Amino acid sequence: MHDDRTLVEARLERVLDERIRPAVYPDSIPLQVAVWNAPGEPVPVAEGLAAVPEPIAVGERWGAPWGTSWFRVTGTVPAEWAGRTVEALLDLGFDENMPGFQCEGLVYRPDGSPVKGLNPRNQWVRIGAPVDGGEEVRLHIEAASNPVILDYHPFLPTQLGDKDTAGSDPQYKLTRMDLAVFDDSVWQLVQDLEVLGELMAELPVDSARRWELLRAVDRALDAVDLQDVNGTAAAAREQLTEVLTTPAQPSAHRISAVGHAHIDSAWLWPLRETVRKVARTTSNMTALLEDEPDFVFAMSQAQQFAWIKEHRPEVYEKVKAAVAEGRFVPAGGMWVESDTNMPGSEAMARQFVHGKRFFLDEFGIENDEAWLPDTFGFAAGLPQIIKAAGSKWLLTQKISWSQTNKFPHHTFQWEGIDGTRIFTHFPPVDTYNCSMKGSEIAHAAKNFKDKGVARHSLAPTGWGDGGGGTTREMVAKAARMRNLEGSATVQWETPEEFFTKAEAEYVNPPVWVGELYLELHRATLTSQARTKQGNRRSEHLLREAELWAATASVRTGFPYPYEQLDRLWKTVLLHQFHDILPGSSIAWVHREAERTYAAVAEELNGIVDAAQCALAGEGTRTLTFNSAPHARTGVPAGGAAAATVDGESAITDRPGGGHILDNGLLRVEIDARGLVVSAYDQEHERETVAPGSAANLLQIHPDFPNMWDAWDVDEFYRNTVTDLTALDEMTALTGADGTPAVRVVRAFGDSRVTQVLALPSGVKRLDIDTEVDWHETEKFLKAAFPLDLHAERYASETQFGHFYRATHTNTSWEAAKFEACNHRFVHLEEPGWGVALVNDSTYGHDVTRTVRAADAAAGVRRGTTTTVRVSLLRAPRFPDPETDQGLHRFRHALVPGATISDAVREGFRTNLPERRVSGGSEVAPLVTVDDDAVVVSAVKLADDASGDVVVRLYESTGGRARVRLNTGFPVTGVVATDLLERPLPDVQVPEPSDGAVPLDLRPFELVTLRLSRATR
- Which positions are annotated as active-site residues? 374
CB 352 within 8 A of CB 366: no
Q: CA-CA distance, 515 to 876, in Å (whole number)?
A: 27
224-to-18, 154, 199, 210, 238 alpha-carbon distances in Å: 13, 41, 21, 21, 11
CB 1001 within 8 A of CB 964: no
Q: CA-CA distance, 135 to 76, in Å (whole number)?
A: 6
Contacts of the segment 241-247: beta carbons below 8 A, 24+ positions apart: 242/216, 243/196, 243/212, 243/213, 243/216, 243/485, 244/192, 244/195, 244/196, 244/480, 244/484, 246/484, 246/485, 247/483, 247/484, 247/485
669-to-175, 627, 662, 685, 769 alpha-carbon distances in Å: 71, 32, 9, 15, 17
**Residue ranges in 240-312 assigned as alpha helix (H):** 241-245, 271-291, 302-311
CB 90 within 8 A of CB 122: no
CB 746 within 8 A of CB 727: yes
Comparing CA positions, the residue from 1008, 998, 995 lying closest to residue 942 is 1008
Q: Is the peptide bond before 879 cis (omega within 30 degrees of 0)?
A: yes
132: number of Cβ within 10 Å: 11
- The terminus-to-terminus CA distance of the chain in angstroms comes to 90
Q: CA-CA distance, 16 to 474, in Å (whole number)?
A: 17
Judged on CB neighbours under 10 Å (0-12, 13-18, 19+), 754 is middle
Alpha carbons within 13 angstroms on the beta-carbon side of residue 923 total: 36
Comparing CA positions, the residue from 964, 978, 960, 988 lying closest to residue 419 is 960
Q: What stretches of 31-77 adopt beta strand conformation (E)? A: 32-38, 54-55, 61-62, 67-76
- Quote the crossing angle between the two packed helices 529-556 and 345-363, to the nearest 10°: 70
CA atoms 150, 151, 156, 161: torsion sign: negative
* DSSP structural state of residue 690: P
Task: Give the SS3 label for residue 75.
Answer: strand
Q: CA-CA distance, 252 to 484, in Å (whole number)?
A: 9
Task: Give the SS3 label for residue 58.
Answer: coil
Comparing CA positions, the residue from 273, 335, 281 lying closest to residue 588 is 273
Judged on CB neighbours under 10 Å (0-12, 13-18, 19+), 753 is buried
Task: Give the SS3 label for residue 87.
Answer: strand
Comparing CA positions, the residue from 934, 920, 994 lying closest to residue 963 is 934
* DSSP structural state of residue 695: B
Q: What stretches of 109-212 adopt beta strand conformation (E)? A: 114-118, 124-128, 136-145, 172-173, 176-182
Q: CA-CA distance, 606 to 591, in Å (whole number)?
A: 23
Task: Give the SS3 label for residue 522.
Answer: helix
Task: For the chain, state the CA radius of gyration.
Answer: 31
Our measurement of the distance from residue 964's CA atom to the centroid of its chain's CA atoms, rounded to an integer in Å, reads 37
Beta-carbon contacts of residue 257 (< 8 Å; ≥ 6 apart): 296, 434, 436, 458, 459, 461, 478, 490, 491, 492, 493
